[in-house]
Structure 1
């Protein structure tokens, strides 16, 4: 199958970002960026992606869309929201991490991840390093944030982590971020990255 056909099929069948699935309309403003960070926290443990996405939706439905609201909610409120999404086993530790992360974001960046971006000075590795200072955000969580946010923050492009690159290689596509970036317009980079990860997880 020609590469163009493979990419078209990928985007058509699997090209929904995790942020979109979680109901997050990504914009370069504090609340959507915080909701993306929350989603990355939820996806950073060994749990099915659809459960993590459902948990992000539950937290949002409960009003926890900003760090201020996350802190205002009680620890039990957070646990209960995660429980409604069947986010078991990690619910208590994640509820703690979300509270501590919200406090850290308010203290360090006054609640605005755009200040983290400014501090990174256009260096994508610095962005990922600063993200890893948040509770529960390790290399995986930082990679997820970069994949999803590259449509907003051009300095993150092209963001295709190891899982996406392995899936690409298995489909006969380039296995480097630069090679994959040449297959789609910049606006479709997050969708292609998400599609490759979904295919990799399915396998």
Structure 2
């Protein structure tokens, strides 16, 4: 790792390195409840809607008791719609409320409400985990990548999971585009998840790229 790469990493982590779980108030751990909350968040982030709205909607769902598979399943469809509406997730609220209920049922029926069982069924392989995740309504390849980017902080067996969006951000900042080389910049799985989130954020804004490069050069 070069000095310039280390400087870029440090600026990224300082300014943009909050995970999406962190924004949604999810204290991620290798336990059923926070893993389910991440699944909900990944579902919401998968739609063509701003990340801020998705995070706000997740918080409203959790506050309404939809923070476990059973809580999500047992909530009425209207309760889920109302919670999404309070988070301003209105464009997709009715369809998403249905998908979240069906996803909770699937998780309970097939994996007893515990995503660690899904991971173990996949043998810890991130590609197989992604395939299984796409069986949840509303989770496609993008949603699976979102889940894996965040969960690698507590599932070291899937790290490094660095998808094309992360690698695109790295390329814009002059960082390695090879996953193995980019992963070497992180000093832990938790930091790798933060770095991934930061690189996703900078893909949205040329201004952010210029800001990071300018600060790293000082």
Q: 2:102 aligns with which of 100, 113, 131?
A: 100
How far apart are 1:15 and its partner, in Å?
A: 0.1
Map of 1:150 onto structure 2: 152
d(CA) in 1 for partners of 2:56, 2:181:
33
Map of 2:162 onto structure 1: 160
| Aligned-residue CA RMSD (Å) | 0.9
Map of 1:196 onto structure 2: 199
SS in 2 for 1:100: helix
TM-score after normalising by structure 2: 0.91
d(CA) in 2 for partners of 1:91, 1:40:
15
SS in 1 for 2:89: coil
**Map of 1:118-133 to 2, 5 A cutoff?**
118-133=120-135
CA contact (8 A) 2:54 2:89 kept: yes
Map of 1:7 onto structure 2: 9
d(CA) in 2 for partners of 1:142, 1:21:
19
CA contact (8 A) 2:60 2:84 kept: yes
How far apart are 1:179 and its partner, in Å?
A: 1.2
Q: Relative to structure 2, which stretch is displaced further, 95-104 or 148-157? A: 148-157
d(CA) in 2 for partners of 1:108, 1:28:
19
d(CA) in 1 for partners of 2:204, 2:104:
29
SS in 2 for 1:201: coil
Give the unaligned 5+ runs of structure 1.
none
Do residues 42 (structure 1) and 49 (structure 2) align? Answer: no
Map of 2:73 onto structure 1: 71
How far apart are 1:128 and its partner, in Å?
A: 0.7
How far apart are 1:122 and its partner, in Å?
A: 2.1
**Map of 1:44-63 to 2, 5 A cutoff?**
44-63=46-65
d(CA) in 1 for partners of 2:102, 2:205:
33
TM superposition outliers: structure 1 runs of 4+ over 6 Å: none
Map of 1:27 onto structure 2: 29
Map of 2:175 onto structure 1: 173
SS in 2 for 1:129: helix
Give the unaligned 5+ runs of structure 2.
207-218
d(CA) in 1 for partners of 2:124, 2:151:
14
